[in-house]
Amino acid sequence: MTNENTQEDIQEARNASPDGEFIRDTNYIEDRILPGITEPTEQEDGTFHWPQEAGRYRLAVARACPWAHRTVITRRLMGLEDTVSLALAGPTHDARSWTFDLDEGEVDPVLQIPRLQDAYFKRFPDYPRGITVPAIVEESTGRVVTNDYPSIVRDFITNWKDFQREGAPNLYPEEHAEEMEELNYYIFKAINNGVYRSGFAGSQEAYESAYDFLWEALDWVEDRLGKQRYMVGDHITETDIRLFVTLIRFDPVYYSHFKCSRHKLAEMPNICGYLQELFQIPGFGDTTDFTEIKQHYFMVHTEINPTKIVPVGPDMSWLMEEHDRDRFGGQPFAEGTTMPGPLPKGEEVKNPEDFQQPLFER
């Protein structure tokens, strides 16, 4: 099952539940790229550990996908752009795979493949699951290494330290680890996956149950952000990244397309300010392409939107307005850490909104 779902995936997920609830497949290739490894080494559980080398791997993503967006933000914040290259699939896909239709000749220029499935089949000719982004691919062999997106993000933060930029932030502080794990689990269940459970519900009962659970969680976030600047501690952490990728898609997509329409997040003052601050930080707003996000959801999910018409709005320029998050004290990153530098050439979003143009030129 893909992270971003085809009609076959949606129906399969509904069939797994007698009441029409959407149940996400969370089985992934759980291989890890870790320091101290000189060659791929099989573990007792059948997974492999792979060596860390600059230039060996390519991160395949789609800007439309929130799960992939987490890895793009983290890679940029940690300064791993020169270590792990970036392959950008287009915003739409079919039942077979994400495609590299944004590149010249519709072929990824490094991997020389038109579809991400080619990297999966190169390693697993009979791969039985969905072809998901994000995925890390070994450049020299064209083989997929892992698509376990939570581990990709966590490893970029904690296990690629020898390759991180000077001044990279600590996004997983040990003193907050236990609280982060609790919040990460709840945010995934109620919000990250909660919008999908609402949008892909197969019955009125399943939809209303998911909707209520989602909004209970969003109200909790609004209340929490009315008392502190970030979700955990005084600085941005992995938990904020996990939350941001769903919240930033809410007004353009989930509010209407997934029927999550109690309020727009622009109408919730604490979440609104929180999104404004994060969006204006390098790594967050400059990796967000609202056009591709809307194209994906409204064109791929034809069971929900059979006309494939993509909305023109909403106006998201409020993201660039001044916020008041500094009233809580704290700052995005701790003393001794720095903001990321300019985006690498070729990694700019292809469809920046007019209000995004001067984003990091202040």
DSSP 201-217: -SSHHHHHHHHHHHHHH
Q: What is the CATH number of domain 174-356?
A: 1.20.1050.10
Q: Catalytic residue at 172?
A: no
For residue 104, what are its two tokens?
Answer: 């010249």
Give the C-alpha separation, 194 to 142, whole Å. 34
Where b means 16+ CB within 10 Å and e means fewer, 185-218 reads: eebbebbbbbbbbbbbbbeeebbebbbebbbebb
Confidence at residue 4, expressed as pLDDT on a 0 to 100 scale: 57
Q: Is the pLDDT reported for residue 12 higher than 70?
A: no
User: pLDDT value at position 355?
Assistant: 77
- pLDDT for 15: 46
**pLDDT recorded at residue 3:** 55
Pair 165, 82: CB distance under 8 Å: no
pLDDT exceeds 70 at position 8 = no
**Enclosing H/E stretch for 89:** strand 84-89
Higher pLDDT, 6 or 242: 242
If 0-12 CB within 10 Å is exposed, 13-18 middle and 19+ buried, where does residue 127 land?
Answer: middle
Domain coordinates of the chain in residue numbers? 7-163, 174-356
Residue 149 is a catalytic residue: no
pLDDT tens, 233-265? 999 999 999 999 999 999 999 999 999 999 999
Instruction: In whole angstroms, give the CA distance from residue 335 to residue 231.
Output: 19
Non-local (6+) Cβ contacts of 324 within 8 A are: 273
Q: Rounded mean pLDDT of 263-289? A: 98
Asked if residues 229 and 325 have their Cβ atoms less than 8 Å apart, the reply is yes
Indicate the fold that domain 7-163 takes in CATH.
Answer: Glutaredoxin (3.40.30)
Of 234, 262, 229, 256, the residue nearest 313 (C-alpha): 256
Asked if residue 155 lies in contact with residue 136, where contact means CB atoms within 8 angstroms, the answer is no
Active-site choice (28, 57, 65, 211): 65
Classified as helix, coil or strand, 254 is: helix
The pTM of this model reads: 0.93
* Angstrom distance (rounded) from CA 285 to CA 332: 14
User: Mean pLDDT throughout 282-294?
Assistant: 98
Residue 270, SS3?
helix
What pLDDT does 353 receive? 86
Half-sphere exposure in the Cβ direction for 247 (13 Å, CA): 30
Does 359 have pLDDT greater than 60?
Answer: no
Question: Among 244, 237, 328, 338, which residue's Cα sits nearest to residue 285?
Answer: 244
Cα separation, 34 vs 122, whole angstroms? 22
The residue annotated as part of the active site, out of 57, 120, 196, 254, is 196
Tell me the per-residue pLDDT of 108-147, one tens digit each, with 9 for 90 and over. 999 999 999 999 999 999 999 999 999 999 999 999 999 9
What is the pLDDT at residue 16? 46
**Which of 83 and 93 is assigned the larger pLDDT?**
83
In sequence order, what DSSP letters do the residues of 297-324 get, joined into one string?
A: HHHH-TTT-TT-PPP-----GGGGS---
Cα distances (Å, whole numbers) of residue 155 to 206, 256, 334, 347: 35, 35, 20, 22
* Cis preceding linkage at 314, omega within 30: yes
Q: What is the largest CA-CA distance in the chain?
A: 55
